[in-house]
Structure formats: C-alpha cells, structure tokens
Structure 1
Amino acid sequence: MANHKSAEKRFRRDEKRRELNHQRIARIRTFIKKVEKAIVTGVKVDAQAAFKAAMPEAMKGITKGLLHKNTVSRKLSRLSDRIKALA
C-alpha cells in the first residue's frame, strides 16, 4: 500500500484509468464480435455495416493508447478480407 500522499493519489488515479481502459477495450471487443457474428451468418450487407461501425471504435483504441496501430490494422484487414470472401 502507498505510504506517501502523492503515491496514494497516483494509486487512485491509476485505478480510475484502469477502469476506463477496461471499458474501452470491452467496447472495442464487442464491436469486433458483432462483425464476426455477421460474417458467420453470411449476410454481406450486415457484415459491412458492422465493420463500418467497428472501424472508428478500433481506431479510437489507437489514439487512446490502448492498442498498437499495427495490431488494429492487422485485425481490421483480416476482417475485411473475410467480408470480401462472402461474395
């Protein structure tokens, strides 16, 4: 446990940040899962709509420092390829 006042404040701040980051990551995962579910159903229009909604959420994860840009790019690229294959 923290012994100094500044360390206690840092602990409180870190805990709030951890909670917020967890919520943001969970939100991104939810959007990605919606895309994957739409791909499994095989309806290309629904998959494209879900992908279009998921892209900005994933990009927001980059700007907030939650995910690395290459990780997001790779995931979005793979989802995009799977959607294209639905034709």
Structure 2
Amino acid sequence: MTSNEPALNLTYDELYEEAQAMLSALSRNCSSPPDTFDRGCRRGVITLWYSLAMSIKDSGRDYHEDRRQLLLAGLTSESQEPPADVR
C-alpha cells in the first residue's frame, strides 16, 4: 500500500512521551473508579504505542520494560491493582 501523505517522523523518546501524555489526560478525565471503557482507552493507547515502538529499528530501548511502565502509569492511584488482562 503506497501513500502520498507525509510520513510520521518521531523518535522513540517522543513517541513514549506522547503515550505518557495521553495516559495522563485519560486518567484526569475518567470515572472513579475507572470503568471498562476507561481501561480500554488506556489499553488502546499502550497497544498503539507498542506497535509503533516495535516498528522503530535499532532504538536500543527495552520495549517490554517501557510497556510495563506505561501500564503502571495508566493506573489512577498507587493502591489500585491493574486490570486482570494486564500481563
């Protein structure tokens, strides 16, 4: 599939920071406690970040550790446990 549109040009760090900002915005605007929709939105951000991060060649970063950190950042409080589907 060929596109004439400009390519997205982000560094790994910029992509990671954008994902953190999105999770922060979602955390501020969610129900309390977070419902299935809120958790799904956060999971979607992390899944999109992960798929884009994996396409960045030779970033030298630990994708799995950064994904774990994003999963933790998606929680609204330190006492809240992650959803059951988080691995």
TM-score range normalised by the length of the shorter chain:
0.3 to 0.5
For normalisation by structure 2, the TM-score amounts to: 0.45
Compare the two structures and name the one with the higher helix fraction.
1
For normalisation by structure 1, the TM-score amounts to: 0.45
User: Which structure is richer in relative contact order (CA contacts within 8 A, separation 6 or more)?
Assistant: 2
Higher alpha-carbon Rg: 1
